[in-house]
Structure 1
Amino acid sequence: MALLAPALLAGVAGAQTTGPSSGSPLAGNPSVPALESERSRRLDELFSRLKDASDPRIARVIDREISLILARSGSDTVDLLMARAAQAFQRQDHDLSLSLLDAVVDLYPDYVEGWSRRATIYFARKEYGRAVADIEQVLRREPRHYGALAGLGMILQQLGDERQALVVFRKALEINPHLERIPEVIRRLQPKVDGTAL
């Protein structure tokens, strides 16, 4: 964790909120450049609308659409593995879920949600170093992934790094001002951080 967090947090603090930094599910497939371009354009539009949305109901609709786009792998095999991993996770069979997600990230390393789901399982198992490593992979591919940023903030809180947690939560809220519970977490952390020496 100590080796991963500083570089990752530096990237979060300076990350731009427009456009993915790397590949996506369809990246590297020369037969679908138009689909990839349309996907990127649509995500840019949705993230912009989400940030500017004044109605929480509209924000929830946009949030769902972003989630659906990010969930699309472009591969029937990956979709099947993801579905089985989700079922295993619901049964609390974390070992099986991790094995399936290992296969997903091996087969499709540019698929953001493979890394994101695996990070969630590592978090549930309190394997925070591994969760952070997977979140780093998510944010390299999609720095606007506010769910991954919120997860990173929770891990930092668990590890007692409230100052960096506050930075990350603020970044997540900047991308999606409609995140539930995060504003309250920020309000609780702010006085603690203000009283902490640099």
Structure 2
Amino acid sequence: MDSAYIDRLLQALKDQNETVRNQAIGEFWHMWFHQKGTQGAKRLIESQTLVEAEQNTKAKAILDELIDTQPDFAEAWNRRAVLYYMEGNYPAAINDCQKTLELVPHHFGALHGLGLCYASVGNYQDAIQYFRRTLDLQPFSLINQRLILECIAQLE
């Protein structure tokens, strides 16, 4: 991926203009989903459709296959992390989020996911750390601002 383009998108996430920020967010998601071309994106969408239909075992099988055959496919790791999170398997979700970040350090979805996982297990200090790291990339993210405040309230 073109690092200059990624740098421009990262800057756009901090733009005062909400439309500019939303376009950058959309570009990142498109880039991540299409990292392995149209076929990779199609398989990710297929797995998401299965999750929405509460067919998590089938969805996980697709994601496992993608990860086994293309271990550098960051969004496959991230999608499986989301699935694990939804199932309450926080250790597995944390592991897959961390793998996503090894592959794509600016993956704000995985950073946010780590915050959610740590908050879910009552580790509010680490949750705050990951929500703040997400805010470093997306300073206008109201959900992360709110989650930080909620975690701080849990510490008091």
User: CA 1:83–1:189 in structure 2 vs 1: closer, same or farther (change >3 Å)?
Assistant: closer
Whichever structure has more helix as a proportion of its residues is 2
**Residue 57 (structure 1) shift:** 2.4
CA distance in 1, matches of 2:44, 2:64: 10
**Equivalence for 1:152:** 114
Give the counterpart of 1:56 among 15, 18, 26. 18
* Aligned-pair Cα RMSD in Å: 1.6
Q: Bigger relative contact order, structure 1 or 2, given CA contacts below 8 A and separation 6+?
A: 1
Task: After superposition, give the CA deviation of every residue in 1:77-130 in whole Å (9 maximum; x if it has no partner).
Answer: 423322321221111100000000001111111111000000000000001111
Is the 8 Å Cα contact of residues 9 and 24 (structure 2) preserved in structure 1?
Answer: yes
- For the pair 1:43 / 2:3, whether they are aligned, the reply is no
Q: Does 1:126 align with 2:107?
A: no
What does residue 170 of structure 1 align with?
132
Q: Structure 2 vs 1, CA of residues 49 and 80 (structure 1 numbering), >3 Å: closer, same or farther? A: closer
Q: What SS does the aligned partner of 1:181 have?
A: helix
List runs of 5+ in structure 2 lacking aligned partners. none
Could you give the per-residue CA deviations for residues 19-69 of structure 1, whole angstroms, max 9, x where no partner exists? xxxxxxxxxxxxxxxxx4x3x331122012212x01222211111111111
Contact 2:12–2:20 (Cα < 8 Å) also in 1: no
1: CA distance, partners of 2:42 / 2:151: 40
3-state SS, counterpart of residue 13 of structure 2: helix
Runs of 4 or more consecutive aligned structure 1 residues displaced over 6 Å after TM superposition: none
- Give 1:75 shift: 3.7
Unaligned runs of 5+ residues in structure 1 are 1-35
Instruction: Tell me, in whole angstroms, the C-alpha distance in 1 between the residues paired with 2:95 and 2:28.
Output: 23
Per-residue deviation, residues 123-170 of structure 1 (Å, max 9, x unmatched):
000011111110111010111111111111111111111111111111
Letter in 1 for 2:26: R
* Cα separation, 2, equivalents of 1:184 and 1:68: 26
